[in-house]
Copies of this chain bind each other. A is one copy, B any other.
Amino acid sequence: MSALGPLYPAGMSQPSQAGAPAQLPAPVRIGLLGCGNVGAAFFSIVADGQSGVASRTGMPLEVVKVAVRDPSRPRPGLGGSGLGGLLVADPWAVVADAEVELVVELMGGVEPARSLVLAALEAGKPVVTANKELVAACHGELAAAAEASGVDFLYEASVAGAIPLVRLLKDSLAGERIVRIMGIVNGTTNYILTRMSEEGIGYGAALAEAQALGYAEAEPSADVEGYDAAAKAAILAAIAFDAEVVSSDVYREGITSVGASDIDFAKRLGYEVKLLAITEREGEDEPVSVRVHPAMIPRAHPLASVRDSFNAVFVEGEAAGELMVYGRGAGGRPTASAVLGDVIEAAHHLREQSRPRTSRRRTTRLRPISELRSQYYLSLEVLDRPGVLAAVATVFGSCGVSIRSMEQVGLRHEARLVFVTHTALEADVQATAAGLEQLESVERVTCLLRLVGSEEEAR
């Protein structure tokens, strides 16, 4: 037995609710891999008798072993008597422990998490994880291992923290034909873009502010270059379309080239700029498109009003229509709450010896970004001399890209032309951008944004 004993009040096995069944099952014994922010929050929710998890759910839980890098380090956040007797340095000792029935993986990274999770699943122990790198890279392999053992492999917390997106797609929309998912799934970049939009400050100043507040890392590229969002996009595509998609399959652009003037221009046209993770498929046998890039989104769209570090995911289903889920995409307690929901589901299946539902994975064709059709915003730094616009317009025309509107902004020495196109093919727009950069009168293409929503709606 653990040093702490069952983490629920002694009287709890005989709940006092009117009409409730007499007996709670024996507590499900959990092994925790990693005990950072999320792990500590999870532990304290489960351990807090006052929180009444067992009385609310009929499922008592008990954390019996916790793997951490340094078991000797004091952990005052976890209470005095705390975690003492449960801590070990070796995660394999947690997975292998005969007492551990269910594994919660919160280490992050692909290895050794992948090997540990595989070992647990192969030993018939359900696994709950919040590790997006792991799920994005190895979802198919881990789901197959879980299915072979007839146990759960659940990962609600790996996408958008507390937002119940995985359950929405797998359960609520089971049977639904998903058309498109668009998500704000990275809180750091949404905070930066919100500040740029609302305060008119530049990217650098907004990033510095996010770093000062702890929303962005000192080395921010995982967030601002879109890598974090790309991992989540891969997971969303995998669930929505039963697709074999990993992070490196995702077309990815970050927000570093978005300037204050681009956001200002977007706002004047009635748009907000958001970093979106998008996955879509036109029909059952069509290829899946999955990409991350900053986009201009009409102000009336529900995603446009998602501010600061909040996350939200907008789902379009054939029958369900438009759905959006919104909430905290990160943070110890919100993420721990999502982990807890999964743990309770897996615990019920374990105690009732029922096999979880399985999903079917197929090899999937992906649609390359070059085949995307969209409207585009382009911003060019140009020399202020006669004939520039004619030369620029010629490049657009020769690539078959039709211009919807053009505006000159800025002063003489830093003249800038901004364009919004009609719906065009990405390949043609990329050719246009390359052609423009060949022009002597064009310094460079400073920003290229895709517009979200149909051209008709936007007018």
Chain A residues within 8 Å of B, Cβ to Cβ: 15, 17-21, 41, 45, 50-53, 55-58, 144, 156, 162-164, 167-168, 171-177, 242, 284, 300, 302, 305-307, 312, 317-328, 331, 333-334, 336-338, 340-341, 343-345, 348-349, 352, 354-355, 357-358, 360-363
Contacts and interface: CB of A to CB of B under 8 A. Distances in A.
Contacts of A360: 15, 17, 19-20, 55-56, 58
A168 B168 CA distance: 8
A354 B357 contact: no
Contacts of A357: 57-58, 348
Nearest to A156: B172
Contacts of A321: 162, 327-328, 331, 333-334, 337
Nearest to A341: B172
A21 B358 contact: yes
Given A18-B363, A21-B358, A331-B321, A175 B57 contact: yes
A200 B430 CA distance: 45
Contact of A162 (B52, B162, B174, B323): B323
Contacts of A307: 300
8 contacts: A18-B363, A20-B360, A56-B175, A56-B360, A175-B341, A321-B331, A322-B328, A324-B326
Contact of A176 (B163, B324, B341): B341
A177 B336 contact: no
B337 A317 contact: yes
Given A323-B327, A352-B355, 11 more contacts: A17-B361, A17-B362, A18-B363, A56-B177, A58-B358, A164-B323, A167-B172, A302-B306, A320-B333, A322-B328, A348-B357
**Secondary structure call for the A interface:** mixed
Contacts of A168: 164, 167
Contacts of A52: 177, 284
Nearest to A363: B18
Contacts of A323: 162-164, 325-328
A320 B58 CA distance: 20
A52 B337 CA distance: 33
A156 B51 CA distance: 26
A32 B1 CA distance: 51
B326 A302 contact: yes
Contacts of A325: 323-326
A322 B161 CA distance: 12
> Which 9 A-B residue pairings sit nearest by Cβ, starting from the closest?
A354-B354, A164-B172, A320-B337, A323-B327, A324-B326, A319-B337, A162-B320, A53-B175, A319-B333
Contacts of A352: 354-355
A67 to B, nearest CB: 23
